[in-house]
Amino acid sequence: MDTNQPSHLRTEHLATPLGLDAKRPRLTWQPPEPPIPDARLTAWHIQAATDPDALDQTDLWDSGWVEEPGALTAEVRGKRIPARTRVHWRVRVRWGDRDESDWSEPSWWETGLMSNRAWKGQWIGPAWENTEDRRHPCPLLRHTFHLPAGTVRARLYITARGLYEARINGRAVTDDVLRPGWTDYRLRQPYQTYDVTGLLREGENVLGVTLADGWYAGRVAFRQQVYGTRPSLLGQLEAPLTNGRTIRVVTDGAWRMGEGAIRFADLLDGESVDLRMEPSGWDAPGFDDAGWTAPRTDPLDAVPLGSAAAPPVRRREELAPTSITPHPHDASAWIVDLGQNIAGWVRLRLPESTPAGTVVSLRHAEMLQPDGAPFYENLRGIRAGEDITTAGGAAGYEPRFTFHGFRYVEVRGVPGELPPNAIRGIAVYSDLAETGQFACSHPLVNQLESNIRWGQKGNFLEIPTDCPQRNERLGWTGDIQVFAGTACLFMDSAAFLGKWLADLADAQGADGRFPDYAPDIVFDRPRGGNPGWADAGILVPWTLYVQTGDAGILRRMYPSMAKWIEFQQQESTDLIRPAYGYGDWLNVDAFTPLDLLGTAFFARGCELMGRIAGVLGRRGDARRYASLHRRVRRAFQRRFITPDGRMVGDTQTAYAIALRFDLAPEPLRPALVANLVRDIHKGRHGAWPYRARKDHLSTGFLGVNHLLPALTEAGHAGLAHQLLLTEDYPSWLFPVTLGATTMWERWDSWHPEKGFSDSGMNSFN
């Protein structure tokens, strides 16, 4: 490959996206090595055309050289691009006045339907309504249509209120799972576009779709039927012909609906399947659907339909068991250990000798109790399992509309022994390219890094969740504002987090406060605004900008960020935020005052807004936010820093945040550093049970990612290194020494002396 070419071309941070609705998408690239060390990028040049062989005679956009120092991104300009259009583009860059790169290899994107008016069908689905205590079988929907010879290409535009799995002529349309994904369906409805040209044939064709409740009509965290009470399908297949006609197949009342093997499917509780009830060949030509019924139809409403903006969820890794042992209390049941805590499901294969009507049950757990039985208490009441009734003979089963967080699987009902090749763990997460690696000479630190990486895999499933196993799985803002920088180093997270930020903006209250999680699932009262959580609305966009150089995310989030700053200013008294929120959650006997944390994050938000306004060329706003930052910083100093350099609260988190956010007067910084070091070494008088901390951390959620950088920046890298390598509780390596394979929610989620911590909130991922 020519190393003088820009590479990794992306459209909206996606590689060659099919069916993109952004009218002015952002294009990004990586430049080649400069011709001389430290040469500065000064300009870029983009060409875009509908003909990949005529980019130099473009019919869409030729930017010419655009002087924009350091830029690695550009927003598409030029002509308005119609729906259903493939756009090919390339880029070159310049250093200084005349050192130019070669043109990149072309990339492309294809526009989608672009507006609700382009959709010609109706929502179709069952007439029944879900209730909290009633589960329904997953509907099967099918439609037969004919194609003449001469199909040029074919696109399937498809979505569901709920989840869908689409098949054409008996073959899967995609290996994506849990489509169309999760957002606030009241405000927007994501859809996908698939190239199905190779699945079609001349003559009779069948489009078959299975529906499930999903996030739309099933259980979500502590609520049920958050957005609606039944799943439904919207689809449009378009096949242009060589004669200029287009065959269009849409969802309407002419479709037929039946039931199959999946008797219910829920994201939290799992699936119940009776393989005897699967109608053979229902998704292929020749099937007799005379006994099926017409679906209920509903017209399109005003909710905007838009292309899904993030990478799909897929089966990413397959894990063989490290052991299969008899259940300690039931010799007919088995405990499967995958050796790794994951999010996903298991694939089960039963032998030819399996009798019809055999019921095999699976339940999933993260940990075992001391006697070797699975530990289910931290799931908080969800079933997290599958029941499979076999049809007789060899049988294979893999869930399609649920996922679990687990390392261990309890298997019951298998005739005879469970051989190792009969079961595999399937790790399922959003399809993000891995971008960063780490290794060192310390095996426990390497395992810690693996645990962090697997924590990202398990919690980057459609949205950045807090945990994948219990009855929660929400996009908590506090978690991701801490983790976003690490996420971007490990994986290409820009599109994934950009989509989630749109959910966060959707969920922002009219008064400007951001919620605790997004998408939101509680709409009947204003909530949120909690320091360190709601601040994700500024901290995550800024992190994405720092990691990618793409100012577009700052531009899109700017109105929401400005409203959040205004809310904090109006809520404050003398620029001190009131004392509420989660605080330094899960700290170790070290309470940091809530108003200190709120004011510190208020100051940090003002500082970043000044920088963001500068990046976007809003000079007046930049001056205004910089002035507000100085005022909040002075208010913080007056209230929370004593003249001798002590923080109110006297906690590691208070000192670390004050130092990292540059909130201390310069003359007092050495005293703050000394007091931080003193607390680590000795603790503070009366701090039970760590009256003497003896070189241990005490930070919780908000201080954990600032402690070691604060020490390192203050000249105490040795102490930071010592804290990192500490192996007893509380420390980063304590769970690693106990066999953890992901990051625990608590410093002591499990302890050899006291066992499991509070099962009401105790995730092991």
CB 609, CB 638: distance < 8 Å: no
Phi-psi region of 682 (alpha: psi -120 to 50; beta: other; left: phi over 0): alpha
Q: Which two structure tokens, joined as six digits, stand for 463?
A: 């949205």
| 48: Cα within 13 Å, side-chain hemisphere | 24
Q: How many Å from the N-terminal Cα to the C-terminal Cα in the chain?
A: 41
Q: What sign does the dihedral 516-517-518-523 (CA atoms) show?
A: negative
Torsion region of 348: left, alpha or beta (phi above 0 gives left; psi -120 to 50 gives alpha): beta
193-228: string of b/e by CB count within 10 Å (b at 16+)?
bbebeebbeeeebbbbbbbbbbbbbbbbbeebbbbb
Q: Which residues contact 431 (CB under 8 A, 6 or more apart)?
A: 311, 312, 313, 314, 316
User: What are the residue numbers of the active site?
Assistant: 472, 745
Helix, strand, or coil (residue 536): helix
User: Please, how many CA atoms are within 13 Å of residue 201, restricted to the half-sphere of its CB?
Assistant: 11
Structure-block tokens of residue 751: 């302890």
Is the bond leading into 519 cis (omega within 30 degrees of zero)? Answer: yes
**Complete edge-to-edge strand list for the sheet that includes strand 73-75:** 7-11, 26-30, 73-75
| Backbone phi, psi, residue 259, to 5° | -130, 155
Q: Which residues sit opposite 219 in a β-bridge? A: 224
Helix (H, G, I), strand (E, B) or coil at 726: coil
